[in-house]
Amino acid sequence: MSMNTHGRPTQPVAANADGAASFSGNRGLDLQEPLIFELGSNTRTGVDLSDEKITKSYLGGLERTQPINLPGLSEPEVVRHFTRLSRKNYAIDMGIFALGSCTMKHNPRLNEKMARLPGFGDIHPLQPQSSVQGALQLMHTLAHWLTTLTGMPAVAMSPKAGAHGELCGLMAIRAALVARGNARQVVLCPESAHGTNPATAAFCGYRVEDIPANAKGRVDLEALKARLGPDVAAIMLTNPNTCGMFEPDIKAIADAVHAAGAFFYCDGANYNALVGKVRPGDLGVDAMHINLHKTFSTPHGGGGPGSGPVVFSEALAPFAPIPTVIKNADGYHLIEEENAESQTTFGRMVAFHGQMGMFVRALTYMMSHGADGLMQVAEDAVLNANYILASLKDVMTAPYEGPCMHEALFDDSFLKGTGVTTLDFAKGMIDEGFHPMTMYFPLVVHGAMLIEPTETESKATLDQFIHSLRGLAKAAVDGDANRFTGAPYFAPLARLDETRAARQPILSYKEPEMLQAAE
């Protein structure tokens, strides 16, 4: 038996493959947690409600007769359940989260505090407008920041996420073309586009065709010009593109698109590289969504809620969706219906006015930085990505020449012949204590690894990250494939069987007796 420096055993019992089992199933701070359905009971509740006697019912005979079968727990049990679950997650608060295209930057807690001011959190969307002047002022102020930063004349605030913003932009484009008398048939997207772009264009009734790319991972301008014609409604282009590169011909692209009578939709997913430094309006953009949950640090929350306001050019502004906020001599007004001020609107995208909670957080973030701080954001985001690119390109393989913008792209050619895939490499990063980069996207690069550090990582953090990735790359090339192919070894769970989940879908909990009864 091996001994530690205190002369005591290093293992409780003789070590075996899966470690010695504990009596509880837990091990130190690694705590197992059942489902709420395995813990609670249908008669227990963690909320004390009034004991008002109920004597009358006006339900028209529609009372529920079947049980719901929802277990409840006391408050201490609920707090413990979700606290234990939380500890099975990686998060920005724990370390660098270099997920390319997702802009996982620090989420300031001041944003959370401001969103919870009762004057923003405890007001109803259908209150009389005289009772919510401050809320309308906040929306109007945020709109001013967004239009000024982007150099665009108008903004639609209501879209609830990036993809929803894309839909908003494409619908405005279609409405503008219809108003001109011809909706046209085709939207051009590069192969490297986010999947939402073609999905959105198809939703608006357009056929999607590829924009050709050149060897440098940029749009092939001459090929694009050759393709443009009276059938093309719009191009959808991400800039910086999904390879993390700025499109150097962007103005020429915009000019060619406009000359062909089409519109330029810019996917603003990568706006963090430009914020406060480059105004998309100066590049000829007609519409661009802004992911407040990326560039302006509203929390990703494990998958939403997001927020995706869309800025518009003069040509598209009249078609923007309602509601909008305007200001005149007697205060702020919400335009909720088609009327004289909004008669060309393409309509309404959501029940109310958009993601107010996210608006408060985003404006808090913007005011904290100011125009000067936001410029520094873009510069540091680009600096950090280039630092990673420069520090790793001799051991990993970069498909395109730098400099990059806010994210660094690698392919899997450095792994050729090692038996290690991009997926394995990513799982190896988990064992190093990092969230992996974006894998297998963009599709134009083989085994893509897209690393976006963001501006809120310190040099010391980046150095440790680079040190680990260099070590992993060397280990893979030196033949230590086992380090990767069985990884992660040190996460709460080993690799999960996604094929099984899709072939035999179990999408809700069934009690053992329900399963038995079904058999």
Partner 1 sequence: MRYLPHTAPDRQAMLATIGATAIDDLFVDVPDGALGTQPIAGLGHHMSEMEVERTLAAMANKNTTASSVPFFIGCGAYKHHVPASVDHLIQRGEFLTSYTPYQPEIAQGTLQYMFEFQTQVARLTGMDVANASMYDGSTACTEAIFMARRITKRGKAILSSGVHPHYVAVAKTLTQFTDDVLLCGEPHVMPGAPGHDMDWILNQLDTDTSCVIVQNPNLFGHVADLSELAKAVHAKGALLIVVFTEVVSLGLLKSPGEMGADIVVGEGQSIGNGLNFGGPYLGLFATRDKYVRQMPGRLCGETLDAHGKRGFVLTLSTREQHIRREKATSNICTNSGLCALAFTVHMSLLGEAGVRRLAEINHARAVSTAERLQKVAGITIVNSAFFNEFTIQLNTPSRQVVHDLAKHNVLAGVSLERLYPKHKALENALVVAATETTTDEHIEALADAFSKVLA
Residues 236-295 that bind partner 1 (CB under 8 A): 245-248, 250-251, 276-279, 282-283
**Are the C-beta atoms of 138 and 362 separated by less than 8 Å?**
no
Nearer to partner 1, 44 or 446 (CB): 44
> Shortest gap between Cβ of 120 and partner 1 (angstroms)?
5
Of 2-10, 223-231, 260-268, 388-396, which part binds partner 1 (CB under 8 A)?
388-396
State which of positions 1-40 bind partner 1 (CB under 8 A): 18, 33, 35-37, 40
Find, among 488, 426, 435, the residue nearest to 457 by Cα. 435
Nearer to partner 1, 7 or 67 (CB): 67
**Are the C-beta atoms of 230 and 179 separated by less than 8 Å?**
no
Read off the tokens for 487. Answer: 């990884």
> Shortest gap between Cβ of 477 and partner 1 (angstroms)?
22
Query: Which of 184, 289, 300, 483 lies at the binding interface for partner 1 (CB under 8 A)?
Result: 300
**Are the C-beta atoms of 223 and 207 separated by less than 8 Å?**
no
Query: Which of 190, 309, 436, 453 lies at the binding interface for partner 1 (CB under 8 A)?
Result: 436
Q: How far apart are the C-alpha atoms of 211 and 217, rounded to whole Å?
A: 12
> Shortest gap between Cβ of 433 and partner 1 (angstroms)?
10
State which of positions 159-178 bind partner 1 (CB under 8 A): 160-164, 166-167, 171, 174
> Shortest gap between Cβ of 105 and partner 1 (angstroms)?
8
Rama region for 47: left / alpha / beta (φ>0; ψ in -120 to 50; rest): beta
Q: How far apart are the C-alpha atoms of 23 and 76, rounded to whole Å?
A: 24
Nearer to partner 1, 372 or 519 (CB): 372
Read off the tokens for 315. Answer: 């040509």
Side chain identity, residue 198: P
Of 8-16, 115-123, 220-228, 413-421, which part binds partner 1 (CB under 8 A)?
115-123
Longest dimension (CA), the chain: 86
Backbone φ and ψ of 324, nearest 5°: -130, 160
Asked if residue 126 binds partner 1 (CB under 8 A), the reply is: yes
Residue partners of 328: CB distance under 8 A and separation at least 6: none
Q: How far apart are the C-alpha atoms of 291 and 166, rounded to whole Å?
A: 10
Of 198-206, 221-229, 258-266, 467-475, which part binds partner 1 (CB under 8 A)?
198-206
Beta strands in 336-385 (DSSP E): none
Beta bridge partners of 327: 332
Nearer to partner 1, 221 or 383 (CB): 383
> Shortest gap between Cβ of 219 and partner 1 (angstroms)?
12
Query: Which of 215, 505, 513, 519 lies at the binding interface for partner 1 (CB under 8 A)?
Result: 505
Find, among 205, 180, 182, the residue nearest to 318 by Cα. 180
Nearer to partner 1, 21 or 416 (CB): 21
Q: Count Cα neighbours of 198 within 13 Å in the Cβ-side half-sphere.
A: 12
> Shortest gap between Cβ of 239 and partner 1 (angstroms)?
10
Query: Which of 219, 224, 382, 408 lies at the binding interface for partner 1 (CB under 8 A)?
Result: 382
* Chain centroid to CA 109: 19
Query: Which of 326, 387, 421, 470 lies at the binding interface for partner 1 (CB under 8 A)?
Result: 387
State which of positions 312-371 bind partner 1 (CB under 8 A): 321, 336-337, 346-358, 360, 363-364, 366-371
Q: How far apart are the C-alpha atoms of 58 and 31, rounded to whole Å?
A: 48
> Shortest gap between Cβ of 213 and partner 1 (angstroms)?
15
Read off the tokens for 404. Answer: 């990059």
State which of positions 55-114 bind partner 1 (CB under 8 A): 56-73, 75, 78-79, 81-83, 85-94, 97, 99, 102, 104, 106-108, 110, 112-114
Asked if residue 468 binds partner 1 (CB under 8 A), the reply is: no
Work out the number of other CB atoms within 10 angstroms of the CB of residue 414: 22
Asked if residue 424 binds partner 1 (CB under 8 A), the reply is: no
Read off the tokens for 323. Answer: 């509601």
DSSP 29: T
Of 8-16, 228-236, 373-381, 410-418, which part binds partner 1 (CB under 8 A)?
373-381
Nearer to partner 1, 383 or 395 (CB): 383
> Shortest gap between Cβ of 451 and partner 1 (angstroms)?
14
Q: How far apart are the C-alpha atoms of 362 and 112, rounded to whole Å?
A: 10
Side chain identity, residue 373: G
